Amino acid sequence: MATQSVDLTIIGAGPAGLYAAYYAGFRGMRTAVVDSLPEPGGQVAALYPEKLIYDVAGFPAIKGQELIERCVEQAAAYDPAYVLGHRAETLTRHDDGSFTIGTHKGEQVSTRSVLITGGIGTFTPRPLPDAAEFEGRGLVYFVRELETMRDLDVLIVGGGDSAVDWALNLEGIARSITLIHRRDRFRAHEDSVQKLYASSVRVLTFTEVAQLRGADRLEEATVFSNKTDERETIKVQAVVAALGFTSDLGPLKSWDIEIDGRHVLVDTRMQTSIEGVFAAGDITEYEGKVRLIAVGFGEAATAVNNAAVYIDPAARVFPGHSSG
């Protein structure tokens, strides 16, 4: 069993967690970053490495993987200890206010404070009904590399940001793109939807998948109108089922942290119901919460600054500007 001792343990190596590792280093803290995935990046790196992200200040658009690489580079100046491929399982609070975090592989991290930046927790794609047999044979739930769709006829199923963004990003790569959505109202950003309708993507609303067919690989899809039951068979070699994800906070549920459904409740210091345990990013909930990467960065800085005071009550919450 390996053991290490740090000032702040960050649970989750997504953008908010990586920025927290940088900012904690700036405040002179030794940090460990624990994540169940084998590489930094969280959901962004695992699911959307080539998806363009538009809401990060200073970047008109940046691919997910590039953002992660920049965050890792930024944090590297303070040499955080990465504990990757380890799921944080247990949290023990000691009489002196410090903590021990145990992972599912037996590693233990002794830490003076904790910051949870676990995104949406463990995420599982929602399956396309009656289509499991084509997984790995043309059916995917996310596009890790756009070039895998080169010169293919692609059917995208969904009406959220991921579905619309992939449709737009695949223009000029895929031979043809059809996007179907079971309603006529999209969950994606309005600007993206307008660009979708102005693009070469064929958009069919009130439409769902009836059947996928193919021998060794996917060859065609039959779709139907859920208003008229009118059916159409489309030649496709790839289907992207962008139907969203179900999430599970997993072991966090047993940590006696106050949770509202799928999210961890925090106060204005980003502290949870356990003193010394903070949270930032998509996993948090409070009145007026907005789930953007940009917001997660700010929450991470707030959490780190308040964790510094938890560790040393004589410290200042605001340490001054990094350019000072």
Annotated binding site for FAD: 35, 43, 48, 88, 123, 282, 322
Contacts of 245 (CB under 8 A, 6+ apart): 120, 123, 124, 125, 126
Burial environment of residue 272 by CB neighbours within 10 A (0 to 12, 13 to 18, 19 or more): buried
244: left (phi over 0), alpha (psi -120 to 50) or beta: left
Which structure tokens are listed for 92? 């023990």
How many residues in total does the chain contain?
324
Helices (H), 143-222: 161-169, 190-197
* Spatial distance between the Cα atoms of 201 and 75, rounded to a whole number of angstroms: 39
Positions at the binding site: 35, 43, 48, 88, 123, 282, 322
The answer for 323, left when phi > 0, alpha when psi is -120 to 50, beta otherwise, is alpha
Task: For 35, list phi and psi in degrees, rounded to 5.
Answer: -150, 145
Residues 27 and 74: beta-carbon distance below 8 Å: no
Give the C-alpha separation, 166 to 78, whole Å.
35
Output the six-digit token pair for 301. Answer: 């800085």
